Chain A
Amino acid sequence: MSAAANPSVSIQDLTLSFGTVSVLQSLNLDIAEGEFIVLLGPSGCGKSTLLNCIAGLLDISDGRIFIKGKNVTWEEPKDRGIGMVFQSYALYPQMSVEKNLSFGLKVAGTPKEEIDKRIARAAEILQIEPLLQRKPAALSGGQRQRVAIGRALVRDVDVFLFDEPLSNLDAKLRSELRVEIKRLHQRLANTMIYVTHDQIEAMTLADRIAVMRGGVIQQLDAPQAIYNRPVNRFVAGFIGSPGMNFIDGRLEEVDGGWRFGTGDLIVPLSTYGFDKQPVAGPAVFGVRPEHIGLNSGSGWPFSAKAAVDVVEPMGSDTLVWLRLGAQSLSVRVPSERAPQTGSQVEIGFDPMRASLFGEDGSRL
């Protein structure tokens, strides 16, 4: 992809296995200087494991890891030029905030004035000056996570590693700190590697997202590209909430034009941009709920009549579940335009914004 000539972090053929269980398989990843990379995936996909390997907290089975051009494969975590923020904050409970921040520097034998200077700077950036003498137990979740970020900050490192840092916070705090992390990245311009299972965090924060599954990076791309052009069915289903509609059917060529069909449902694909030369056979058609129009007039390349099955109000939007022949389909509409349960509606969409996946699950 867009690997810089001089990547900040470079992972080459990284393999990790515990006994016979292989967790990461020959994984390659180049991260540019100052880039914000999000590792996204369901639990157990290997994203945290990968982060721990980069940090040096796990010994890898094969491959190499470079940070700032230096091979750190066998280095101790402290010598890798990284700072790390953990999900559970991992603040030392018996030490005050100030001691928490200074512990690593003291271990490294940093002079006192330098320590004070760095703590003052981190405290200023994160606005935790009033908390410096408190113990972690006396802090709120959001304050704790700020201190944890501060602990990475004082190390004055090139690369920040975040291991699901916001997962322990409630929804409101999470969105506040999300903005703050973004602001921090804009101010410091450090390389940041951020692990999460929350796609909102991934979409909002990342320069590039690496969607992982089973220890393999499925897609590495900018957030919009991942959202609009998922490379396979897994990525398509994982990204987006509510999830993409999938319809199983067949891809056929009729009169020189391609179309997708199952039962009575026939979708012409004249506007769809194929990634590769299509072949007739089984396929999966995917369309996002927000890309389907409901009673929104004519002019869609595809339109049909459907019955309203269930209506789920979600506040600003409403999710409408429809029955279209034998298929179940969800459509996202503004709440004021939500139809009644049981009524008949007209739907339409443009296959240009849809995704087609072949039998092996990859994008067609």
Chain B
Amino acid sequence: MASTMSSAAKRPSRLFRNLSAKIASVPMILTALVVFVGGTLWTVLYSFTNSRLLPRLKFVGLDQYERLWATPRWLVSIENLAIYGVLSLIFSLVIGFVLAALLDQKIRFEDTFRTIFLYPFALSFVVTGVVWQWLLNPDFGVQAVVRSLGWESFAFDPLYNSSIVIYGVLIAALWQGTGFVMCLMLAGLRGIDEDIWKAARVDGIPAWRTYLFIVLPMMRPVLITTLVIIAAGIVKVYDLVVAQTSGGPGIASEVPAKYVYDYMFFAQNLGQGFAASTMMLLSVAIIIVPWAYLEFGRRR
């Protein structure tokens, strides 16, 4: 090495090479390290303390978690999230795929239909929640209209019935989000080689079989990505519930994200909020880690 140095130009120091790029990346590095890593570790750490109005480093072990899992409101939240999560995954994938497949039939007015199916996605969850609160209002909404048509005993008042309120939220969420799933699926369908369709047609395979047994397996990457996106969104569901039901009636439509917010910023029980948000993190990790592992494993 020494001999190489002699006749050479100044070797730029390692730190200063690409200096502009490094300076430009400072916001990204800060965000990644301070907010994402630092913030997450901080919250996890303080979830083991008895912080109330202000964060305090007085460790109480797993007390917050024990209390959390003994709180009926948290249990309802988890149950709601599970029902909402599983159903919205299934329905948005199925409806999204069917709509995408229908739009993929070289139909006329494709753009119009897509515009109609997707516009709710441009609206906020607050707007979605408020609209569906109105549509599902038992005195004026769908139930009242059907009854006025003569079906007097018709009952559909999810927002006032604690046993089915989460389905009311689900309907609104599907209205808002399925168009997006459809778009992803459509992109996936368009990415499939035209020759596959020609081959299936020559072989005389009916369209539905081609979709189910050939196209769907080929769309695996898109499906997985969609799944992860929907799943990550489900865990975060918050504004929709706040706007549509405020968690009611009673605590029937509470969700974990709302639990965290309420304990952190209203109940002044930070420790509970931290513990609950750590549980949310854990549930996301359960979804993400296997996916990341698959993604990573495939690239190797």
- A contact residues vs B (CB 8 Å cutoff): 64, 71-75
Contact = CB atoms under 8 A, between A and B. Distances in A.
B7 A74 contact: no
A220 to B, nearest CB: 24
B153 interface: no
Contacts of B105: none
A71 B10 contact: no
B286 interface: no
Contacts of B12: 74
Contacts of B10: 74
A242 B293 CA distance: 48
Interface string B10-39: 111000000000000000000000000000
A74 B10 CA distance: 7
B8 interface: yes
Contacts of A73: 4, 8-9
Interface residues of B, number: 7
Nearest to A73: B8
Nearest to A13: B4
A64 B9 contact: no
Given A71-B7, A73-B9, 6 more contacts: A64-B4, A71-B8, A71-B9, A73-B8, A74-B9, A74-B12
A64 B8 CA distance: 9
For the complex of A and B, 3 pairs with smallest distance between CB atoms: A71-B7, A71-B8, A74-B9
Contacts of A64: 4, 8
A96 to B, nearest CB: 28
Nearest to B6: A71
Contacts of B9: 71-75
A193 B8 CA distance: 23
A74 B8 CA distance: 7
Contacts of A75: 9
Nearest to B3: A64
A64 B4 CA distance: 7
A127 B9 CA distance: 38
A75 B8 CA distance: 9
A74 B12 CA distance: 8
Interface in B222-278: none
B93 to A, nearest CB: 39
15 contacts: A64-B4, A64-B8, A71-B7, A71-B8, A71-B9, A72-B9, A73-B4, A73-B8, A73-B9, A74-B8, A74-B9, A74-B10, A74-B11, A74-B12, A75-B9
A72 B12 CA distance: 13
Contacts of B4: 64, 73
A65 to B, nearest CB: 10
A64 B7 CA distance: 10
Nearest to A12: B4
Contacts of A72: 9
Contacts of A74: 8-12
A71 B10 CA distance: 11
Most buried by A among B4, B11, B12: B4
B207 to A, nearest CB: 40
Nearest to A75: B9
A64 B1 CA distance: 11
B25 to A, nearest CB: 19
Nearest to A72: B9
A71 B3 CA distance: 12
In this complex, the member of A71, A72, A75 whose beta carbon has the largest number of chain B beta carbons within 10 angstroms is A71
A73 B8 CA distance: 7
Nearest to B8: A71
A73 B7 CA distance: 10
Contacts of A71: 7-9
